[in-house]
Amino acid sequence: MIEVINTVICYNNSYEVLEYTKQVSKLVDSDKIALVIVVNRLDNGSIEELKMRLSEIGIMTHVVDPKTNLGYMNGMLAGVRSYCEQYNSGSIKYVIMSNTDITYTDRDFLHELLIKSYSDEIWCIGPAVYVPERKNYDNPICEERRTIKEVKQIIRRFRIPIFNELYFRMSNIKGKIIKQKRGSSHKVYELHGCFFIVRLQLAELMINNPFGALLYSEEAYVAENVWHNGKYAFYDSELLIEHNEHAVTGKLNYKKLSKYIADSMEVVLMDYYQEDVGEK
């Protein structure tokens, strides 16, 4: 019986998608997960070839061809919608929305997730995210909700070329020097976008309230949907994954990255901070 949907994006990275699928197939309780692959772009090979190779791995997979690039978050949500329309979703406990540049260091990851009993007030769960390249942890992203002033500062930072390039360079240096510890489990505001575990109820809500941006700030979008519904996000340090960060989006240059971040945060500002318009 399928209890978890894991939705991912294929954007000219079918080899990585296949390798990720093989990893998932080796997890304990892999018969309880359905891997949903949304093909935003596939220049080398065909959808049918991808389906054939996926079928040889030995876990349930569902391939979605939207015939256009839906972006990261909306693409994954389209995958959830497609699966639920085709199969019975009554047994689904969680939806994992993840990158494919993920390594499971513990074969019991899925089993441990399924035996946990989170409060019904927790709608989004994030594991400890270890980045081998920097020998550092990336979760959680933000402990408390940002003020409208902080959101506007982020937008300004990424609109001004000299500031955004300096920010990226300083962030790279900071990530190598300042080490974030794995820490203890606790409620947070925002979790890392490379790996969300959400309640099906939250996924369905977001399907009906799609993100108005192509890339980036998915963390803020999910966090705001949780916060506006009076629920919580939870950092669970007992769960662990490794992230080979920026495998795809890292190929974008500073200018493109900055535009995506500024544009997406403007969407967050307009869609979720209207009650705070009196702030500067």
Say if CB 248 and CB 13 are below 8 A apart: yes
Token pair in block for residue 116: 């946990």
Q: What's the chain's average pLDDT? A: 91
pLDDT of 173 above 50: no
User: Alpha-carbon torsion 181, 186, 189, 193, what sign?
Assistant: positive
Tokens representing 13? 């990275």
Q: Which residues contact 244 (CB under 8 A, 6 or more apart)?
A: 101, 102, 103, 132, 133
Return phi, psi of residue 137, to 5°.
-105, 145
pLDDT digits (tens, 9 = 90+) for 78-108: 999 999 999 999 999 999 999 999 999 999 9
State the Cα–Cα distance between residues 92 and 1, nearest whole angstrom.
9
Confidence of residue 278 (pLDDT cuts 50, 70, 90): low
The per-residue pLDDT for range 127-166, each reduced to its tens digit, is: 999 999 888 999 899 999 999 999 999 999 888 866 566 5
Taking only the tens place, the pLDDT of each residue in 187-239 is 999 999 999 999 999 999 999 999 999 999 999 999 999 999 999 999 999 99
Query: Which CATH number covers residue 259?
Result: 3.90.550.10
Count the domains in the chain: 1
Provide the residue range defining the domain that includes 269: 4-276
